Amino acid sequence: RRASYEEVSKYLNDNDIFSVADCSCRTAREAMGEGCGHLKEDMCIQMGHAAEYYIRTKRGKQITREEAFEIIKRAEENGLMHQIPNLDGSGKTHAICNCCGCSCLALRTASMFINADMVRSNYVSKVDKEKCVACGECVQNCPVNALQLGQKLCSKTPVTTEIKRIDTPRDTEWGPDKWNPDYRTNRKDVVDTGTSPCKTNCPAHIAVQGYVKLASQGRYREALELIKQENPFPAVCGRICPRKCETDCTRGDIDDPVAIDEIKKFIAEQDLNTDHRYVPKRKHEYGKKIAVVGAGPSGLSCAYYLAIDGYKVTVFEKENVLGGMLTLGIPSFRLEKNVINAEIDILKELGVEFKTGVEVGRDISLNELRDQGFKAFYIAIGACMGRNLGIEGENVENVITGIDFMRDVNLGKELKLEGNVIVIGGGNVAIDVARTATRIGNTQIKMYCLESREQMPALPEEIEEALSENIEINNSWGPKRVIVENGRATGVEFKKCISVFDKSGRFNPSYDENNTIIVKADTVLLSIGQGMNWGGLLSDSKIELNRNNTIKADPFTLQTGEPDVFAGGDALTGPKFAIDAIALGKEGAISIHRYVQPGQSLIIGRDRKEYHALDKENIELQGYDSTPRQSVGHVDGSKSRKTFKDLRETFTEDQIKRETERCLSCGATVVDEFLCVGCGQCTTKCKFDAISLVRKYDGKGVAYEELKPVVIKQILKRKVKITTKKVKKLFK
């Protein structure tokens, strides 16, 4: 049972006059350039005589009791916990502080000295592992890093299921060797023995286990909200994601991995098909103008999260359509344009402005945008330029890069392929190019790539779909020259590729120059990589490029050589998957939010998202059911090759129930009871009723004038405990 003095509401109900002021701790850190990005405005509440003083001296403004409760709610929504000074005596206080662990003086002191006793309540967090799904919400919002993600599967050797400390300040001499001075930058998300592989392997670290559980309970809107905390475009990713979560799914070590991506697609479909779609609430109204350059997945992701934070975001796109390579690089039979547009509609609902047909660096410069009041920039132009082979004969009219070919098709240009078409390349884009070519002409499509079938970078399901559409894949052949007659390519000479990588694993193909073939061609489509076209974007700036033409930026903060310019997506990493770009978009939004707010650090108190998976060799996998993986209906290649419509189906609700039950629910949160201050912030974030507060201590506030004898008594008790512990060690 809780005592009345342990309820925040008691203090609000016991007083009649209230005021609110900016958080003094976060204001101080801001003045030092060490802000953490958390709210400071109107966050600390004063009551009674303290409120009268703040109102009289204009240090704060008067508010009503109802407004005070609203501030408490807003603080919890923004990941802040409540602290109450207890020097007025038991059941009395003059203030309620809404604190974070990265700026609050009391919490920072506790974290630095690893001594939560100076700030704790009488409670500690307790996790119900049966209910916990390791979504990470509690871990991310814990102000003192007392919660970390672990696992709950049966293991062969012991793993971390609770964090116990042998030494604490209560019975140990506590010098600098015991402290944690880097507590604001070295938070741990995961215990040493690891957590769920799905969340770990996802580039955006989406709470896979969490949304699978919500879907199993029919809570599809909540599942969507959980996904969109890390990925604003689940309907898109449900169709094109490389499924890295499934690649490492523990269930796959028993039979087949959980169909995570199909579950995500189903969840997103429920939202697409409803009259009232989920539009997240804007947290603030900062009003500062931010420019995003590029309307691809990374730029759109950054714009989404900045809009939620309350910024006025304008996205500049040089093409006349939005979506970047989602729209121009991926064929409609894999990702229909109405799906992309439906996802973008949510950004428009959030107030994001789009300017198409505007190329920054040509039509307007970064400096001109600065003059218009834009405070920061996110560069996400993507890798939208095809690459040539650098071989004889390729610079003729009917040798086209796959990127240019896909752009023309997706923009609706009239194209007609006839005769023999050769596609050079073995990745997913090459597969898309080949499958698209089959749909726009009476052609025979042949693919040639350096890699063996097993080495092909294209996903296995992509290869299977190409084969089902009668596309011929020829492995282990590299182009030697393009044969040209009368200014047009008539064929390609290939040489046998013996190996693609050298002994050190670097891309360094070797060939048998004597083993060659000549293949007739009426059109040659090159799909051997992508690059960036910077145009005049970086003119007159301090931004540098890497040797591979990607932009130079800090790998964590994404800040470039121009302090107000951040970069992400393929422009930073080179060609990757959409989910990689989306993840960087959110990180860019976090950095920009901190940059444009005065006195904020780009790194202090920021989650580095360093995850590692449990050791699957150490878990017992016997005894689980053998429920088969659900699958959507197979699409007949003879039908799919005749249309640009996406013929793939979506799970039924019955299939969702069956498939979600296959999840082993690998992960669970682990509590460090000594570090836990019992603030209860974790309980406000959990959607699964999996974490609660349990009473462990029985402390009470002591009035300041009565404090001295109490402190002396505690000092003496601690000295006795330290001495006793030392003596016991001597006789062991």
Cβ–Cβ under 8 Å, residues 718 and 724: no
Q: How far is 446 from 528, CA to CA, in rounded Å?
A: 15
Instruction: State the sign of the Cα–Cα–Cα–Cα dihedral 223, 227, 233, 234.
Output: negative
Residues 6+ apart with CB under 8 A from 133: 207, 209, 210, 212, 213, 665, 667, 668, 688, 690
Q: Please report, in angstroms and rounded to a whole number, the separation of the first and last CA atoms in the chain.
A: 41
Displacement of CA 248 from its chain's centroid (Å)? 18
- pLDDT-based confidence at 44, cuts 50/70/90? very high
Whether residue 3 is predicted with pLDDT greater than 90 in this model: the reply is no
Burial class of 225 by CB neighbour count within 10 A (0 to 12, 13 to 18, 19+): middle
- Please tell us whether the domain made up of 386-531 is placed in CATH 3.50.50.60: yes
69 close to 87: Cβ distance less than 8 angstroms: no
HEC per residue, 421-444? EEEECCCHHHHHHHHHHHCCEEEE
Query: What is the DSSP code (8-state) at residue 392?
Result: B
pLDDT digits (tens, 9 = 90+) for 270-312: 999 999 999 999 999 999 999 999 999 999 999 999 999 999 9
Q: What tokens appear for 698 in the block?
A: 């029985």
**Which residues on adjacent β-strands are paired with residue 46?**
19, 95
Residue among 367, 364, 317 nearest 344 (CA): 317
Average pLDDT, the chain: 95
| pLDDT tens, position by position, 604-644 | 999 999 999 999 999 999 888 889 999 998 899 989 999 99
Per-residue model confidence (pLDDT) at position 4: 62
Residue found under tokens 């920009």? 592
What is the sign of the dihedral through the CA atoms of 441, 444, 447 and 453? positive
Rounded Cα distance between 274 and 346, Å, is: 13
For residue 623, the model assigns a pLDDT of 84
pLDDT at 236 over 80: yes
| Closest among 679, 695, 696 to 111, alpha carbons compared | 679
Residues contacting 728, CB < 8 A, separation 6+: none
Cα distance between residue 665 and residue 242, in whole Å: 21
Q: How far is CA 227 from CA 150, 195, 261, in A?
A: 20, 18, 12
Return the percentage of the chain with pLDDT > 90, whole number. Answer: 92
289-384+532-596 adopts what CATH topology?
FAD/NAD(P)-binding domain (3.50.50)
pLDDT score recorded for residue 87: 84
Beta bridge pairs of residue 364: 360
Residues 6 or more apart from 275 whose CB is under 8 A from it? none
Integer Rg of the chain from CA: 29
Is the model's pLDDT at 144 over the cut of 90? yes
Q: Rounded to an integer, what distance in angstroms lies between the CA atom of residue 171 and that of residue 180? A: 18
Does the structure show a pLDDT above 80 at 28? yes
pLDDT at position 581: 99
Which residues contact residue 263 at a Cβ distance below 8 angstroms, ignoring those fewer than 6 apart? Answer: 211, 212, 215, 651, 656, 659, 660
Cα 143 from Cα 687, distance rounded (Å): 19
Report how far residue 368's alpha carbon sits from residue 1's, in angstroms, rounded to the nearest whole number: 62
**What value, to the nearest 5°, has the Cα angle with vertex 570 and ends 566 and 572?**
40
Q: Is residue 108 within 8 Å of 675, Cβ to Cβ?
A: no
Count of alpha carbons within 13 angstroms of residue 171, beta-carbon side: 11
- Is a pLDDT exceeding 70 seen at residue 706? yes
| Lookup result for tokens 């129930």 | 657
Q: What is the widest separation between alpha-carbon atoms in the chain?
A: 102
Q: What secondary structure letter does DSSP report for 85? A: -
In terms of Cβ atoms closer than 10 Å to its own Cβ (0-12, 13-18, 19+), residue 614 is: buried
Q: What is the pLDDT of residue 2?
A: 59
Which residue did the predictor score with more confidence, 732 or 347? 347
Compute the distance between CA of residue 676 and CA of residue 121 in angstroms, rounded to an integer: 9
Closest Cα partner for 383 from 580, 582, 574?
574
State how far the Cα of 431 lies from the Cα of 489, in Å rounded to an integer: 22
Distance between CA atoms of residues 490 and 571, nearest Å: 35
As given in the structure block, the two tokens for residue 569 are 């997506």
Residue 603, class by beta-carbon neighbours within 10 Å (0-12 exposed, 13-18 middle, 19+ buried)? middle
Q: What is the DSSP secondary-structure string of 217-260?
A: TT-HHHHHHHHHTT-S-HHHHHHH---HHHHT-GGGGTSS---H
In the prediction, which pLDDT does 91 show?
Answer: 85
Residue 483 bridge partners (DSSP): 491
Residue 160 is predicted with a pLDDT of 85
Q: What is the pLDDT of residues 565-585, one digit of tens each?
A: 999 999 999 999 999 999 999
Structure tokens at 645: 């419509």
Q: What average pLDDT does the segment 40-55 reach?
A: 96
pLDDT of residue 532: 95
* Residue in this structure with the two tokens 């967090």, named with its chain if needed: 125
DSSP 286: -
Residue 206's nearest CA partner among 214, 198, 194 is: 198
C-alpha torsion sign, points 230, 232, 233, 234: positive
Check if the beta carbon of residue 38 is closer than 8 Å to that of residue 26.
Answer: yes
How far apart, in whole angstroms, are the C-alpha atoms of residue 712 and residue 723? 17
Tell me the average pLDDT across 19-36: 96
**pLDDT recorded at residue 5:** 60
The per-residue pLDDT for range 392-433, each reduced to its tens digit, is: 999 999 999 999 999 999 999 988 898 999 999 999 999 999
If you count them, how many residues does the chain have? 732
Q: What is the pLDDT of residue 32?
A: 96
Please tell me the distance from the alpha carbon of residue 409 to that of residue 426, in angstroms, as a whole number: 20
Element (H, E) at 713: helix 707-730
* Amino acid (one-letter) located at 306: L
Place of tokens 């970390």: 148
- Closest by Cα among 234, 221, 297 to 260: 234
Q: Which of 587, 589, 542 is nearest to 561 (CA)?
A: 542
The answer to whether the CB of 49 falls within 8 A of the CB of 26 is no
